[in-house]
Amino acid sequence: MKLAAALVALLAAALLAACTAFGPRTVDVPQERLQELIARRFPIDRRVLDAIDITVDSPRLSLDPESNRIAVELALRAGTGGAISAQLNGLLRVSEALRFEPRDNTVRLVDVRVERFTIDGLPGHWQRQLDRLGKPLAKALLDDQVLYALRPKDVAVLEGRGLRPGDLRVTATGLTITLLPIER
């Protein structure tokens, strides 16, 4: 019985070594799961310029494997309070790359690009002003946002197998995460 257990342990160790020795392994995250992860981070409410309350919510995800980016379209509401109250609705479409941050084991949105920022019914000259002022605000709102944080137990399992997350690649069906051997 001890011999059988020793053989099983040896075989398991050999298989684990073979997995890491033959190059990186990958984990695929389907688009539906990415949509769920992004939806958890919304709504985002911010007050800007000490006068305007902005809410972005209702994210809709699309994938762009050619540029290794994801795009998110969001409903936007901006309002002012006080004696003169106004409520504006619009649309914000951003694209971003994804980066794994080993410092805190998170997947973050990086290189955020505002592709579309419109307010319903806004005249053209005001829309141009919104583009000039609003795009940097929208970029600042979303840049470096955490999409997902690995749980400590997930990190421990990976490290126990001698692996760490590496490259993130957007595909036509979701996201592929490369797991690399930990260099010791």
**Is residue 90 a part of any domain in this protein?**
yes
Q: Are 170 and 28 in contact (CB under 8 A)?
A: no
Q: What is the DSSP string of 139-183?
A: HHHHTT-EEEE--HHHHHHHHHTTEEEEEEEE-SSEEEEEEEEPP
> What mean pLDDT value characterizes the chain?
80
CATH assignment of the domain containing 120: 3.15.10.40
Looking at the domain assignment, is residue 159 inside a domain?
no
Determine, yes or no, domain membership for 107.
yes
Q: What percent of the chain has pLDDT over 90?
A: 22
119 lies in some domain: yes
Q: Which amino acid is at 6?
A: A
pTM for the model: 0.71
Residue 181 domain-assigned?
no
Q: What is the pLDDT of residues 150-174, one digit of tens each?
A: 888 888 888 888 888 888 999 999 9
Q: Say if 16 falls within a structural domain.
A: no
- Is residue 175 domain-resident? no
Domain membership of residue 128 as a residue range: 34-149
On the question of pLDDT at 138 being above 80, the answer is no
In the chain, how many domains are there? 1
